[in-house]
Chains A and B, each alone.
Chain A
């Protein structure tokens, strides 16, 4: 099942502990939760904005609630999960900083994955094309993108530093493959962080 997972989800799936309690915020159709349930026997819960995705996830037998990361996380009690996961959703939230704060309140640890806006291809497109980059990972145009808070790996590290959170682990992706941390802000298309408060 993990073979079919998106690369960032596969990384997360590999590093979640057996039998953990997991909340996937922005869980889509439940692909990751379903894999985690199958591979790791986790107690899987999800939050998802889109009704069709929720229906698909519930159809898979997952406990998924239709709701909004910006407004609905406050109802979960402190440390009610071992991991809170936010994959490819951070850049779509109204207040990414508060969402991560909530993840670290609800979960003992948080996985956060996002596309890196400072990847060299995007930089070149902006530098020479003078237009907002449209890439494989960021395929939408500026006016119809759900990504309202573009960020770079260095931006995220700065936020983590400012808030005094701890990075326990980090992974970087180029295409579908993992890449080294050196120069990640320029070379990586995608980042996955494991944080704790």
Chain B
């Protein structure tokens, strides 16, 4: 856990929120103004400004990367990587993590109030992209007085942002660490997301996204969406090891549709606890942003061309049991970076935990990240 140092400057610290004037021109054409961003910072920005690291969170993540989550009371989601004595250390680094655009933990999203109507946006919120999220982060860094990042770091959707950063702001970032991620959403990725979205929209409580006023949200649909997605975060071997075909608190099958199996009970729990902290419409918007993501497509179909103007060093890490964003996707990025002549490191690490491995205990990942970050300080 990161110590919460006293800061005199109200821009810095945990539980921050800012409404930036913008306007932010979104990829979809809309102008967003103001741009509300909830974020946290840890550590102190060095006088030369060269110790800033931006952490990017995944689909259902948030800005509470190394502080206690206000809703769940759980420790930050990446305290295995960020904290005293760890590769990213607030004693040395100025760490920034912002809730992405479209999310529901305080940044601008479908649950925010539309100044035009005084009502929550709902589905009137403009569709956003990964690049929009990155540009919003750029605005936040302007506000924080961070001209240049020594690193941008993210896993999964956070990795998509980290990979996009040097392509959007070539002069503002010295290195990008992209973990368990991809340069594009595949047909399979989109397909799984569409199942989740349909589950939400099929819930009668969704009501075309207008459920904020009576607080009766489409939690059943959102829970099913989470259950389906959660399967993609784990490996077959991991599920087998954890649950096998074991029954849940019973000695025999019930010949009914109760959660007979432990794995069913586990997934239901995952679904139910998720709806406590996440907004269904945000889930729609963010999964859409991920599906629209294809860095090569944005650069005439060539991934190498996407990196032509970048100057950052890149570090990619994949996990051998990750079938959501398998190693082949990381290799594709590495080959494009090689073709563009960029400095890149890449390693596939072993883990039984599938895609979620980057959030769990991963000493090899920490080793690689630590070495890579220190190399930038030479």
Binding site for B on A (CB under 8 A): 45, 51, 54-55, 57-67, 72, 75-77, 80
Contact B338 A59 (CB under 8 A): no
Query: A35 to B334, alpha carbons, bound, how many Å?
Result: 25
Contact B343 A55 (CB under 8 A): no
Contact B372 A61 (CB under 8 A): yes
Contact B344 A72 (CB under 8 A): no
Contact B313 A55 (CB under 8 A): no
Shortest CB distance B326–A (Å): 14
Contact B338 A55 (CB under 8 A): no
Query: A63 to B314, alpha carbons, bound, how many Å?
Result: 9
| Further 19 A-B residue pairs, CB within 8 A, beyond A55-B368, A67-B346 | A51-B349, A54-B346, A58-B315, A58-B347, A59-B371, A60-B375, A61-B371, A61-B372, A61-B375, A63-B343, A64-B345, A75-B334, A75-B335, A75-B336, A75-B338, A76-B338, A76-B339, A77-B339, A80-B341
Contact A62 B349 (CB under 8 A): no
Number of interface residues, chain B, beta carbon within 8 A: 26
* A-chain residues with CB within 8 Å of residue B372 when the two chains form the complex: 58, 61
Given contacts A61-B372, A61-B374, A61-B375, contact A66 B346 (CB under 8 A): yes
Contact A67 B378 (CB under 8 A): no
Contact B338 A58 (CB under 8 A): no
Contact A63 B313 (CB under 8 A): yes
Given contacts A51-B350, A55-B364, A58-B315, contact A65 B338 (CB under 8 A): yes
* A-chain residues with CB within 8 Å of residue B336 when the two chains form the complex: 75
Query: A164 to B364, alpha carbons, bound, how many Å?
Result: 44
Query: A58 to B336, alpha carbons, bound, how many Å?
Result: 19
Contact A58 B339 (CB under 8 A): no
Residue of B whose beta carbon sits closest to that of A66:
B347
* A-chain residues with CB within 8 Å of residue B375 when the two chains form the complex: 58, 60-62
Query: A45 to B343, alpha carbons, bound, how many Å?
Result: 8
* B-chain residues with CB within 8 Å of residue A54 when the two chains form the complex: 345-347
* A-chain residues with CB within 8 Å of residue B7 when the two chains form the complex: none
B27 contacts the other chain (CB 8 A):
no
* A-chain residues with CB within 8 Å of residue B349 when the two chains form the complex: 51, 55
**Which of A55, A59, A65, A80 meets B344, CB within 8 Å?**
A65
Contact A59 B339 (CB under 8 A): no
Shortest CB distance B348–A (Å): 6
Contact B371 A75 (CB under 8 A): no
Contact A62 B345 (CB under 8 A): yes
* B-chain residues with CB within 8 Å of residue A55 when the two chains form the complex: 347, 349, 364, 367-368, 371
Contact B341 A59 (CB under 8 A): no
B370 contacts the other chain (CB 8 A):
yes
Shortest CB distance A189–B (Å): 33
Query: A153 to B378, alpha carbons, bound, how many Å?
Result: 41
Shortest CB distance A34–B (Å): 11
Given contacts A65-B338, A65-B345, contact A58 B368 (CB under 8 A): yes
